[in-house]
Amino acid sequence: MADSAVRLDRWLVAARMFKTRPAAVQAIGSGKVLVNGSRAKRAKLLHAGDRVRVRRGPFEFVLTVRVLSERRGPPVHAATLFEEDPAAKARRERLAQQLRIAPSPAYEGKGRPTKRDRRRMERLRDEEQA
């Protein structure tokens, strides 16, 4: 189980950052996973001490690899595979709090929104994402 090196995609699944290996591969391919500050391929070999940065939605995880594993286990075991950067964790929790407080744009009229209303909602949504 604990080898000297493990493939990045397998470790991400074992650490429960992604539910499936194809989801991990897609995130790696789209540049949402960085290893030691640079983009990596899915077959990149991870070693203990490597820093992995993972973006999932609006959230960013900064992890230091502690233990290597290829098999997905219980969440208690997955939590021992990495150590999370305290500053990044605080930023993520602050962002989560802001997203909980922020009102989501919703149509409040009666019936279906008109074309004009729909365009306004889309404009608001685009401004929030920017």
Per-residue pLDDT tens digits for 47-85: 999 999 999 989 999 999 999 998 998 999 999 999 999
Identify whether 66 is part of a domain: yes
Give the count of domains, the chain: 1
Identify whether 45 is part of a domain: yes
Q: What is the pTM for the complete model shown?
A: 0.74
> Using an 8 Å Cβ cutoff, are 81 and 1 in contact?
no
Share of the chain above pLDDT 90, in %: 69
Say whether 66 sits in a helix, a strand or coil.
Answer: coil
Range of the domain at 21: 6-84
Identify whether 71 is part of a domain: yes
Residue 42 has pLDDT above 50, yes or no: yes
